[in-house]
């Protein structure tokens, strides 16, 4: 499987390429796997995906809806609110105090342990094809 951001051609969505068991290439958006296309080569699969993406955008517009913005192009403030059980809130506050952290610091630390954060300052990876194993 190869992943690469296709910022201009695909409006910032990340494209995944797979070589399937029939030796056809499948291209789809990581963020919207239902938008996909096949081709006998990676380039042809990407060309077909461009046709599919154009159709998806036309469909959204025809329905009077906004075309979804790729996560890579959205602005994230770093803030969100979540409601949790009072007992969980208390347990987290006590753990934070024991560790000399703020509650926000502890929760951010716990959340970051389970999330992969991509470094946007790095250049986009070079295009690679790889094979999906059945």
**Residue-wise pLDDT tens digits, 72-107:** 776 777 888 889 999 999 999 999 889 888 899 999
* Whole-number pLDDT of residue 134: 28
What is the phi/psi pair of residue 38, to 5°? Answer: -115, 160
Are residue 12 and residue 51 in the same domain, yes or no? yes
Give me the helix-helix angle, 103-113 and 86-98, nearest 10°. 100
In this structure, are 98 and 44 located in the same domain?
Answer: no
Residue 129 within any structural domain of the chain: no
Q: Does 13 share its domain with 51?
A: yes
Same domain membership, residue 84 and residue 50: no
- Could you tell me if 55 and 91 lie in one domain? no
- Domain residues for 95? 76-113
pLDDT attached to residue 40 = 96
Asked if residue 7 belongs to a domain, the reply is: yes
Q: Is residue 7 domain-shared with residue 64, that is, in the same domain? A: yes
CA dist 87 and 92 (Å) reads 9
53 and 24: one domain? yes
Residues 108, 51, single domain; the answer is: no
Query: DSSP class of residue 129?
Result: -
pLDDT at residue 65 is higher than 60: yes
Residue 125 lies in a domain: no
Render pLDDT for 29-60 as a digit per residue (tens, 0 to 9): 988 889 999 999 999 999 999 999 999 999 99
Q: What is the CATH number of the domain that holds 34?
A: 3.30.160
Distance CA 76, CA 102 (A): 22
- Structure token digits, residue 40: 């006998």
Beta bridge partners of 4: 15
- For residues 66 and 80, state if they share a domain: no
């Amino acid at each position: 499987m190869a992943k690469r951001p296709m910022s201009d051609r695909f409006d910032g969505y990340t494209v995944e390429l797979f070589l399937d068991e029939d030796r056809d290439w499948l291209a789809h958006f990581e963020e919207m796997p239902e938008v996909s296309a096949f081709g006998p080569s990676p380039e042809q699969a990407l060309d077909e995906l461009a046709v599919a993406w154009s159709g998806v955008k036309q469909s959204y517009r025809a329905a009077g809806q906004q075309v979804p913005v790729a996560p890579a192009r959205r602005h994230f403030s770093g803030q969100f609110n979540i409601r949790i059980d009072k007992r969980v809130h208390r347990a987290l506050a006590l753990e934070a105090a024991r560790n000399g952290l703020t509650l926000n610091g502890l929760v951010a630390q716990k959340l970051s342990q389970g999330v992969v954060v991509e470094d946007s300052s790095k250049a986009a990876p070079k295009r690679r094809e790889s094979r999906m194993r059945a």
